[in-house]
Amino acid sequence: MNQPPLPVSATETRNAASATIDSLSPLQIVRLMNAEDQYVIDAVAREELAIARAIDVIAERFASGGRLIYVGAGTSGRLGVLDASECPPTFNTPPEMVVGLIAGGRHALTRAIEGAEDDAQAAVSELQALHVTDRDVVMGIATSGRTPYVLAAIEYACSIGAFTIGFACNQGSAVAKVAELMIAPIVGPEVITGSTRLKAGTATKLVLNMLTTGAMVRIGKTYGNLMVDLRATNDKLRDRAERIVADLTNLPQPQSAELLNHCGGEVKTAIVAALRDVSPDEARRLLSQCAGHLRATLHGTP
C-alpha cells in the first residue's frame, strides 16, 4: 500500500528570490545569499527565551556531573560533532562532557551515508553505549524536524529521564512533539531548494555556539570574556594563556609564562596564585571552594 506523501516543509519549499539564481552574476549571487542570511539572525533572536532556558538546564546538568549529547544526521550531525570537539581546547573540558553523535558514525563526517538518517535503532544503541542517564541532556538536531534517527534518540532519552531539547527550522515538527524544550528558528526557504546546509545550517551553528558558550560561562569557564580555562595545546593557545595571565595579574608576559609553567599550565591557578600570593596548591584549593569560578575566588562575587 502506498504511503501518503509527506507535507512539504518550509525548508523544502522554493525560494522566489532565488528562482533564477542560475542566470545571476557572481556578485549578484553573493548579494542574494547575504540578503537571505539576514533572516537567520532575526529567526534565532525570536527563540531567545528557549535558548536561554536550554543554557540554564545544560549548565545545571554540567554542574551535577551530567553531559550534553548532540544527535543529528548529515549537516546537523556534523555541526553537533564540530561544536562538541571545540569544547575541550576552548574550555578545558573532558571530551565526554559534550558529545556529538552523527547518523552513520565517523565516516558520515566526510561523506554521505545512504539511509543512515532513517536508522532509528542505531540512535538508541549509540545512546545506550554512552550509558546516558537522567543527569544528561540530549539535544536532537533535525532542521526538517522529522529525521527518524533524531526522533528515536529523543524518545529514548525521554524514557530514561534525560532532559531533551529539540532543534528544527520548521513549525509544528515531529521533533517538537517529543522534546521537552524546543528551539525552532524559522529561517524560510533555502537559496537552493532543500539545501539546509545554508540558512538552516547557519542557524544551527549560531544556536549551538550560544548553548555551549552560555553554559560554560555559567559554570565558571570564563572570567569576563577571557577563556581562563583554555587548554594550551599549541603555540597560539600558549601565547593566549600567557597574555591572559599577564593581563589579569599585571605581570610581564615572560613572568606570566614562568608562572604558568609553575602552575602546570593552569591559567586560573596561575592568576589566583599571583593575585592572592599563594602556592599553586592553595590556589587550586581556593578555586575548588568556589566551584572553579575565578571571579568568586578573587572577589567573593557570584
Buried b (16+ CB within 10 A) or exposed e, 123-149: bbebbeeeebeeebbbbbbbbbbbbbb
Distance CA 154, CA 70 (A): 10
Q: Cell 599571583, residue? A: 274
Are the C-beta atoms of residues 34 and 207 closer than 8 Å to each other? no
Are the C-beta atoms of residues 164 and 154 closer than 8 Å to each other? yes
User: Which entry of 12, 47, 60, 86 is annotated as an active-site residue?
Assistant: 86
Strands in 31-132 per DSSP E = 68-72, 98-102
Going by C-alpha positions, the residue among 12, 36, 13 that lies closest to residue 24 is 36
Phi-psi region of 26 (alpha: psi -120 to 50; beta: other; left: phi over 0): alpha
Are the C-beta atoms of residues 44 and 202 closer than 8 Å to each other? no
Going by C-alpha positions, the residue among 174, 146, 82, 72 that lies closest to residue 116 is 72
User: Which entry of 36, 47, 48, 117 is annotated as an active-site residue?
Assistant: 117
Query: End-to-end CA distance of the chain, in Å?
Result: 62
Amino acid at 19: A
Let me know if 117 is a catalytic residue.
yes
Residue 151 CA to chain centroid, in angstroms? 19
Let me know if 36 is a catalytic residue.
no
Amino acid at 109: L
**What residues are labeled active site?**
86, 117
